[in-house]
């Protein structure tokens, strides 16, 4: 065997595995439509072709097993034998045997010593028309993925190491590479001759070619999710049989394409969810009939593209989640607090199943009670930048929705600096950015037993100083005391924490490069990326970082959606407010009724007369004032307009109508518009121009009263009373 051409053997392995897979799919399908001669024909040919090729290689044991199967299939084809469950079980056992032998050949180039005599005897018996002697005919076939996930993934190995690429795609790639070479030659020539005139054009061409090339190469990595789903009919059949349930599996959108690496990463979570749905979700036929449902349960997998992501939904029409039981268990296991439990919505409660350590012990069975909890499923999904949520309707079933990115290779990230080096934080882990001014630091950043925390929304977040975690030389230093603190609030694995960084640089798409194996033991990095200037930046692994710092779910943060401080009661009026940053990331709320419009105005349209700035707007003139300056955040209302307008372009402008005239209030940025029931409370030490404080999204925010504010401020008076007077 040693002299055998590796290539031919490899081809044989991958072809035979494909055939084995086809046999499996057809067998499961055949159980639904027992008389389908076309399927039996396909089955026969697939088994025959494995047998034929293995003869050529001298794999006699494989030949013997497939030969017995081929005989039985021949009887099926001629109609002499019916496709009974015993026949299906025996033939599925054959598929498993073929896979096991192929795996052994792949590993050792030998087919091993096992002869599979019992299986051959069983096949021959069925072939001869005798009843199957295999124990428990209805039981799932031993050796399937169900019982031996390790072996099945091993047997799949030869296929995973190669992909099929459309020849046209390959041609296009070659063309693009040709273009790339030409562009490079041109660039080198221009650089050598010092010809700077054509450089921008060449750079642009290089840019185009690279973008196209990137897109096309990504296409070669794309695979239909159907590749992953092809194993599910068999899995469903076996799991359903072992739990004594009857389940019909429907697959929609199998052609939806995803990056190979993501397909691989989704294999375990999806398998687990399907198992769970059948084992726990769908009731036994008797129960279902008693509830007036069809005896056969339905499991639907749907995949589709939406919003640049791939959505996968796993829906069953079973019993749904026992929410009361979940609440009880979560309380017992101290995963949620007693105060919170009664206020949790059904949705929040359903998502408790994703918390680490959660289990409803009464429900452990041989199929899903393997210690692989839903938290592992969630971790797997989140590791590839996805999100997962569950929706349950008691008595009607539940749906698990997964959103995953198309590719792992390029991810949006935030670049921050710590100790002069740049680091990337994947956007999927990012909740928000917070800047705490030095003056506020004493209040917002208290210290509890040497552990710094951040007052965040209505709770406290553990704070981690990136410079300290990464042991930046010379940290801590005492010099930076009087500067503002930049904090990136990040979350992963159900933990939320604040990362203190030197500065926040930019948000950009980064190409993820793995670190070599020897460096991967440093668990706080997920890889590295190369920035525009050619320098390397490390990508932070937020879960790793949290673990490294010893922050676990139970001790840390506010992992669950923040509880509403003000209950939904009609006595509290529903208000719509606009949240914006006035000046240095200080958030204020403006009642919507005081706002005429929100505009973005390009900076170049701003005209100046003396110290005043204005723009032509809707056939008139709109004076611009900085909200920050009115609130006197910068300390000097009279500062040059370049300063008070900030350095943003376009300017974010809140248009306020006052006495028939409009005034543009320039803010740093408009955060969001919130409609919530909120009570206005007088805030202690309220300044002029503030109506009080409201709780928005769980955090206390000052509510502006523009009328009063403009009346009380120098700049406001400057503009408003004059015009108001005219209008009156």
Partner 1 sequence: MAEVRLLCTFQVADHLLGLDIAFVQEVLRRQQITRLPLSSPAVRGIINLRGHIVPAVDLRCCLDLPAAVSGEDRATIVVRGREDAAASLLVDEIGDVVQVTESSRERAPETVHGIARQLIHGVFPLHDRLLLELELGEVLRVAYA
Q: Determine which residue in the list 292, 307, 534, 619 makes contact with partner 1, applying CB under 8 A.
A: 534
Which residue, 549 or 629, has its beta carbon nearer to partner 1? 549
As measured in angstroms, the least distance from the Cβ of 476 to partner 1 is 15
Which range of residues in 334-342, 431-439, 531-539, 627-635 is near partner 1 by CB under 8 A?
A: 531-539
Total of chain residues touching partner 1, rule CB under 8 A:
23
Q: How far apart are CA 126 and CA 373, in angstroms?
A: 40
Q: How far apart are CA 644 and CA 622, in angstroms?
A: 17
Half-sphere exposure of 513 (CA within 13 A, CB side): 11
Which residue, 148 or 469, has its beta carbon nearer to partner 1? 469
Please confirm whether the linkage preceding 408 is cis (ω < 30° from 0).
no
SS3 for 10? helix
Q: Under the criterion CB under 8 A, does residue 535 sit at the interface with partner 1?
A: yes
As measured in angstroms, the least distance from the Cβ of 537 to partner 1 is 7
Contact (CB, 8 A) for 577 and 563? no
Q: CA-based diameter of the chain, in Å?
A: 106
Which range of residues in 221-229, 401-409, 523-531, 695-703 is near partner 1 by CB under 8 A?
A: 523-531
Q: DSSP letter string over 645-689?
A: TTT-SSEEEEEEEETTEEEEEEESEEEEEEEEE---BPPTTPPTT
Segment (H or E) for 298: strand 297-306
Q: Under the criterion CB under 8 A, does residue 538 sit at the interface with partner 1?
A: yes
Q: How far apart are CA 461 and CA 453, in angstroms?
A: 5
Helices (H), 222-249: 226-229, 232-242
Closest among 283, 248, 254 to 270, alpha carbons compared: 254
As measured in angstroms, the least distance from the Cβ of 412 to partner 1 is 20
Q: Under the criterion CB under 8 A, does residue 519 sit at the interface with partner 1?
A: yes
Q: Determine which residue in the list 515, 562, 670, 680 makes contact with partner 1, applying CB under 8 A.
A: 515
Which residue, 139 or 530, has its beta carbon nearer to partner 1? 530
Q: Under the criterion CB under 8 A, does residue 478 sit at the interface with partner 1?
A: no
Q: Determine which residue in the list 15, 132, 421, 707 makes contact with partner 1, applying CB under 8 A.
A: 421
Q: Determine which residue in the list 184, 291, 325, 513 makes contact with partner 1, applying CB under 8 A.
A: 513
Q: Under the criterion CB under 8 A, does residue 472 sit at the interface with partner 1?
A: yes
As measured in angstroms, the least distance from the Cβ of 96 to partner 1 is 34
Phi, psi angle pair for 87, to nearest 5°: -60, -45
Q: Under the criterion CB under 8 A, does residue 437 sit at the interface with partner 1?
A: no
What b/e string do you get for 634-662 counting C-beta neighbours within 10 Å, with b at 16 or more? beebeeebeebbbeeeebbbbbbebbebb
As measured in angstroms, the least distance from the Cβ of 411 to partner 1 is 16
Q: Determine which residue in the list 54, 68, 528, 590 makes contact with partner 1, applying CB under 8 A.
A: 528
Which residue, 341 or 410, has its beta carbon nearer to partner 1? 410
Q: Under the criterion CB under 8 A, does residue 537 sit at the interface with partner 1?
A: yes
As measured in angstroms, the least distance from the Cβ of 551 to partner 1 is 17
Q: How far apart are CA 615 and CA 89, in angstroms?
A: 78
As measured in angstroms, the least distance from the Cβ of 522 to partner 1 is 5
> Structure tokens of 53?
């090729």
> Structure tokens of 370?
């393997």
> Structure tokens of 224?
């239909």
Q: Determine which residue in the list 3, 481, 518, 571 makes contact with partner 1, applying CB under 8 A.
A: 518
Q: How far apart are CA 232 and CA 25, in angstroms?
A: 9
Which range of residues in 141-149, 230-238, 386-394, 518-526 is near partner 1 by CB under 8 A?
A: 518-526
- Binding pattern to partner 1, positions 336-365, x when CB under 8 A? ------------------------------
Q: Under the criterion CB under 8 A, does residue 517 sit at the interface with partner 1?
A: yes
Tell me which residues touch partner 1 (CB under 8 A): 421, 469-472, 513-519, 522, 524-525, 527-528, 530, 534-538
């Amino acid at each position: 065997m040693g002299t055998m051409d590796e290539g031919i053997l490899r081809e044989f392995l991958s072809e035979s595995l494909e055939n084995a897979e086809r046999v499996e799919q057809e067998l499961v399908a055949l159980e639904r439509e027992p008389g389908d001669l076309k399927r039996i024909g396909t089955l026969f040919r697939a088994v025959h072709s494995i047998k034929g090729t293995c003869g050529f290689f001298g794999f006699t044991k494989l030949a013997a097993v497939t030969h017995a199967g081929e005989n039985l299939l021949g009887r099926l084809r001629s109609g002499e034998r019916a496709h009974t469950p015993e026949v299906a079980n025996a033939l599925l056992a054959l598929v498993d045997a073929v896979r096991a032998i192929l795996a052994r050949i792949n590993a050792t180039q030998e087919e091993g010593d096992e002869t599979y005599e019992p299986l051959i005897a069983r096949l021959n018996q069925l072939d001869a028309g005798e009843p199957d002697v295999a124990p428990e005919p209805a039981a799932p076939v031993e050796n399937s993925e169900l019982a031996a996930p390790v072996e099945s993934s091993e047997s799949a190995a030869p296929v995973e190491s190669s992909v099929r690429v459309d020849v046209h795609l390959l041609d296009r790639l070659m063309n693009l590479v040709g273009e790339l070479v030409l562009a490079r030659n041109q660039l080198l020539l221009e650089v050598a001759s010092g010809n700077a005139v054509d450089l921008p054009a060449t750079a642009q061409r290089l840019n185009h070619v690279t973008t196209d090339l990137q897109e096309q190469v990504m296409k070669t990595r794309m695979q239909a999710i159907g590749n992953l789903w092809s194993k599910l009919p068999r899995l469903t059949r076996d799991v359903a049989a072992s739990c004594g349930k009857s389940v019909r599996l429907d697959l929609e959108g199998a052609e939806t394409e995803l990056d190979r690496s993501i397909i691989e990463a989704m294999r375990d979570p999806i398998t687990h969810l399907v198992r769970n749905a059948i084992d726990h979700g769908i009731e036994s036929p008797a129960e279902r009939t008693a509830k007036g449902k069809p005896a056969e349960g339905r499991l639907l997998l749907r995949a589709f593209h939406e919003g640049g992501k791939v959505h996968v939904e796993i829906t069953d029409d079973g019993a749904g989640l026992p929410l009361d039981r979940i609440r009880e268990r979560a309380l017992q296991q101290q995963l949620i607090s007693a105060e919170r439990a009664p206020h949790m919505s059904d949705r929040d409660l359903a998502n408790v199943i994703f918390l680490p350590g959660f289990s409803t012990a009464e429900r452990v069975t041989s199929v899903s009670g393997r210690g692989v909890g839903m938290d592992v499923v969630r971790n797997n999904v989140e590791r590839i930048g996805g999100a997962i949520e569950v929706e349950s309707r008691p008595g009607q079933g539940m749906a698990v929705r997964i959103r995953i990115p198309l590719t792992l290779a390029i991810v949006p990230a935030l670049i921050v600096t710590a100790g002069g080096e740049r680091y990337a934080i994947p956007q999927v882990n990012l909740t928000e950015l917070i800047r705490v001014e030095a003056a506020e630091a004493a209040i917002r950043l208290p210290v509890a037993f040497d552990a710094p925390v951040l007052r965040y929304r209505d709770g406290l977040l553990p704070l981690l100083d990136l410079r300290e975690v990464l042991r930046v030389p010379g940290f801590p230093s005492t010099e930076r005391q009087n500067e503002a603190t930049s904090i990136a609030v990040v979350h992963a694995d159900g933990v939320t924490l604040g990362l203190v960084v030197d500065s926040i640089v930019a948000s950009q798409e980064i190409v993820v490069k793995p670190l070599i194996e020897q460096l991967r033991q440093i668990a706080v990095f997920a890889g590295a990326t190369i920035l525009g200037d050619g320098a390397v930046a490390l990508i932070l692994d937020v879960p790793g970082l949290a673990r490294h710092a010893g922050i676990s779910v139970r001790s840390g943060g506010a992992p669950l959606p923040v509880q509403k401080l003000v209950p939904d009661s009609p006595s509290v009026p529903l208000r719509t407010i606009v949240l914006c940053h006035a000046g240095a990331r200080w958030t204020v709320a403006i009642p919507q009724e005081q706002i005429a419009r929100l505009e973005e105005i390009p900076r170049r349209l701003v005209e100046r007369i003396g110290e005043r700035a204005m723009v032509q707007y809707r056939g008139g003139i709109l004076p611009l004032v900085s909200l920050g300056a009115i609130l006197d955040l910068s300390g000097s209302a009279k500062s040059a307009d370049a300063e008070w307008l900030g350095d943003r372009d376009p300017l974010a402008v809140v248009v306020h109508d006052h006495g028939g005239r409009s005034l543009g209030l320039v803010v740093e940025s408009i955060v969001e518009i919130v409609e919530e029931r909120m009570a206005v409370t007088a805030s202690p030490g309220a300044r002029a121009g503030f109506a009080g404080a409201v709780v928005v999204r769980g955090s206390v925010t000052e509510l502006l009263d523009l009328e009063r504010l403009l009346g009380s401020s120098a700049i406001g008076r400057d503009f408003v009373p004059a015009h108001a007077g005219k209008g009156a």
